[in-house]
Chain A
Amino acid sequence: MSTTATVPHGPAGPAPAAPTTERPTTDIVRHWTTPIALAVLAAVSLAVFALTASGKSATFRISTDADAIHIPDIVVPTIAAGWTITLLLAALAVWGFLQVRRSGTVSGWVSAVFAALFVAGFLVWVVGAANTTTVFLTGLIAGSVTLAIPLIFGSMAGVLSERAGVVNIAIEGQLLAGAFTAAVTGSVTGSVWAGLVAAVVAGVLVSVLLAVFAIRYLVNQIIVGVVLNVLVAGLTSFLFSTVLSSNSSALNSPPHFPSIRIPFLADIPIIGPILFDQTILGYGMYLIVIALYIGLFHTKWGLRVRAVGEHPKAADTVGINVIRTRYINVLLGGAVAGMGGAFFTLVSSSSFSKEMTAGQGFIALAAVIFGRWNPIGAFFAALLFGFTTNMQYVLAILGTPVPSQFMAMLPYLVTVLVVAGLVGRSRGPAAAGSPYVKE
């Protein structure tokens, strides 16, 4: 290292003092894309939410008559709300420009508040323009969470293995394998817990294949993921057609996890049903997200995992076993995704059906990226995707001007924008995708 000054083409790169002497004035790198995107979205808000508001009022029902705590309906006049929200969004966009001029980047809360306001503006506009201008907000949100739970499990699997440097495209296959084995084992044993354990095992098995091929045989991780998805889809469909469909009462009628309602807390409006009226899997999902967040960012284990994902050679140099860390994380990811798969057959649907995960593994992957490989971020991204999926159904019932297909493609478009860095910037672990070979 110290000889770089004397060796012109030395391997160690430029002399240490070079970067500061080359560009002494440009300490701040300014990222203008985010405020520009905010401005564009504010303009969209002006053009759509404010100028094409229906003039009616959107009614949001929060509690039913049966609820213990009764909250009156919220009635929002669309025109006033459209203009108010547009003005607020414009103010935030301006604030974003100022922030970039001052410090180079837009702070996270500006984007978060902006996103929340934008969603609110959209909701008011779309409900106000519908044939039925009343929507049950609590149900909308609770339904979104239900739809998001498998996505969240899947994205946690993605976070686990990608943080250790193994790209997991096989989330879809892990979910599907989990759903299948949970259904079969649950039906045979009659026990939900046996079904859950079997789903975890199935998820881990898919992960074993992923890990062995990607880590041991150094096969490209994306190839393995893609092929594993095909393999699991083929296997489950094959077994479904040959064994399950002819004998569905014995093999494909799994028991279901009951909802466990926590008294009093579950009566809290809006968040009560989401947080305190879930199945074991639902509660487990919250625990896993929190545990993973703390584990990754506040423990020695997490530091090591992230080191392996960012710079395996450096991690190896300080004595971390890169290969073992990757194996463990990929397998853990498979276990988590398996649980997510169990949610399909042990909670949300009555039985297994062919390719029932229908691309949710890929949405989970999108949530990982959208959430910037952070468990909390991925959690909220998955919630947002669950919300847009649920909005499709709700909008279809309400009869709105927005075609459901556009609602459906929103998560994917948003992810494209995020990945392309047009809204924020999402960078994965540096070593994700490349195998590590110890020298």
Chain B
Amino acid sequence: MSAVTSESTPASTPGPQGGGAGGSGRKGGAPNGFSFRDVLSGNGTVTVLAILLSLVISAVLIILTDEDVLEAAGYFFSRPMDTLAAAWSAVAAAYAALFRGAIFNYRGDTFSEGIYPLMESLTVATPLIIISLGIAISFRSGLFNIGGQGQMIFGAMFATWFGVHLQLPAGLHLLLVLIMGILGGALWGAVVGFLKALTGAHEVILTIMLNYVAIHLVTYFLYTPVLQREGSTNPVSDFLPSTAVFPLLFGDSFRLNWGFVVALVATVFAWWLMKRSSVGFQLRAVGANPDAARTAGVSVKRMYVVAMAISGGLAGLAGMSQVSGTEKMLNTDVAGSFGFDAITVALLGRSSPWGVFAAGLLFGALRAGGVTMQTETGVPIDIVLIIQSLIVLFIAAPPLVRMIFRLPAPGSLQARATADPVTQPTLAGAVAATTASADGHVAPADSATIGDADSSTTTPAEGDQR
């Protein structure tokens, strides 16, 4: 008992525990009333506070490494205000540049200059959203796909080959390249699902290893005539012909292309798949509890392959959107750190399609703004990585955020922990319990699958409603 209660006791302010659905048992229905307490302890608040907290910590880092601040700190005791002023201006300049680079450049002369950063953010967010949707679907299916990088590389590789080596009419060529991108990623993902289904090997290890195999494979192909640009000694492919490239959305002044529309469509597709389709229902069933799903007649092994193929297919589409969107060619760095970034996006978006879409936009904006921040104020773009990882750490441990901000615990945690000790001792249980009251339904805690970690808003309860 001690571990669960001890984590919530320091966090909870003294007072009555258990508003909302807390303690009303496993099948706890919707809360009778929606109290302010629920809002405070719920999902959204924790997310917002996590973002704020990460920005504050990063601000501290910026202050500590700023030269003006350090200089002023040298005579801190004679003129303390100087240090504070320098610290303020360092952070203000950095975050103002971040905003100007991410959302709206208020220093721009024309409207198009002003809006350019927003367009850039959307452009950067495009592949991130698509690959993160794939990762989120794997999470929902109880699989931990860390192989987004490799699958993205495979998608990009397939897309590039069909883009460069074929000559087809405009629309058809792009469509073929798109399908091949999906297919490449799906194949590489399905290998993992297949191996897991066949041998029970853990997908985390498989995907990490296959990432490296993919990196070395693409390097090899880029050094051989299979993909290498003619006459080049560098590992780069030819440029894709215009027939295989996404047209620009808003004219030549912005890089934003139809890839973003594809990202939107992919989000809708992911939503439809997970919420409306029978395959999605089976995937969620496997993710919530493989044993129960098997008992109910779902082929768990087939779902592993399906989930990894869909997840990999979306990663492949992200690779394709890089090749056919902004890059227009393939190099070894096509997947960059997208694979790991996507995990943070999927976690921040709580693995729901529209949540992922929003989280992808946020991290895309941070990326785009980070570039401006680096060039204008000298704060390295690496700070974005720090912000990103801190946000995820904080939202992964809601009790921590509550403790820092002295928020009331949702109450259900303690009550449920005592009421239902068998299903409780997992992250899935803990997180589901903490978010249950805000959502209005309680997710059955599943103790076995790791994929549930993210599924704080997983909705197996909907299964009951269907």
Contacts and interface: CB of A to CB of B under 8 A. Distances in A.
Interface of A: 167, 169, 209, 213, 215-224, 226-231, 233-235, 237-239, 241-243, 323, 359, 362, 365-366, 369, 403, 405-406, 408-409, 412-413, 415-416, 419-422, 428, 433-439
10 contacts: A220-B452, A223-B347, A229-B340, A230-B337, A234-B385, A237-B380, A366-B208, A403-B220, A438-B1, A439-B1
A239 B210 CA distance: 31
Contacts of A221: 450
Contact of B3 (A167, A216, A226, A365): A216
Contacts of A216: 3, 7
B399 A362 contact: no
A219 B341 CA distance: 18
B388 A234 contact: yes
Contacts of B383: 234, 238
Contacts of A219: 393, 396-397, 427, 453
B447 interface: yes
A359 B150 CA distance: 14
User: Can you list the 4 inter-chain pairs with the closest CB atoms, starting with the nearest?
Assistant: A234-B385, A220-B453, A437-B425, A241-B380
Interface centre among A241, A242, A406 (most CB of B within 10 A): A242
Nearest to A436: B425
B325 to A, nearest CB: 24
Interface centre among A223, A231, A235 (most CB of B within 10 A): A223
B340 A226 contact: yes
A422 B385 contact: no
B209 A227 contact: no
Interface of B: 1-4, 7, 61, 65, 144, 146, 195, 198-202, 204-206, 208-210, 212-213, 216-217, 219-220, 223, 337, 340-341, 343-344, 347, 378-380, 382-386, 388-390, 392-393, 396-397, 399-400, 421, 424-427, 430, 447-448, 450, 452-454
A77 B367 CA distance: 57
Contacts of B216: 405-406, 408-409
Contacts of A406: 216, 220
Nearest to B202: A419
A415 B209 contact: yes
State the majority secondary structure of interface residues on A. helix
Contacts of B213: 409, 412-413, 416
B304 to A, nearest CB: 13
State the majority secondary structure of interface residues on B. helix
Contacts, number: 177
A106 B356 CA distance: 48
Nearest to A433: B450
Interface centre among B393, B430, B453 (most CB of A within 10 A): B393
Contact of A217 (B220, B397, B425, B452): B397
Contacts of B347: 223, 227
B220 A405 contact: yes
Given A217-B7, A218-B427, A234-B383, A416 B195 contact: yes
A310 to B, nearest CB: 16
Contacts of A412: 209-210, 212-213
Given A227-B393, A403-B220, A409-B217, 14 more contacts: A213-B396, A217-B400, A223-B343, A224-B396, A230-B337, A234-B385, A323-B3, A408-B216, A412-B210, A412-B212, A415-B209, A419-B206, A437-B1, A438-B2
B382 A238 contact: yes
A197 B209 CA distance: 32
Interface centre among A215, A403, A408, A419 (most CB of B within 10 A): A419
A80 to B, nearest CB: 32
Interface centre among B201, B382, B388, B448 (most CB of A within 10 A): B382
A439 B419 CA distance: 11
A230 B385 contact: yes
A439 B340 CA distance: 35
B453 A409 contact: no
B415 to A, nearest CB: 15
A95 B302 CA distance: 36
Contacts of A362: 208, 212
Contacts of B379: 242
Nearest to A354: B382
B206 A226 contact: no
Contacts of B452: 220
B365 to A, nearest CB: 17
A179 to B, nearest CB: 16
B189 to A, nearest CB: 14
A366 B425 contact: no
Contacts of A409: 212-213, 216-217
Contact of B65 (A229, A243, A433): A243
A419 B340 contact: no
B382 A223 contact: no
Contact of B205 (A241, A408, A415, A421): A415
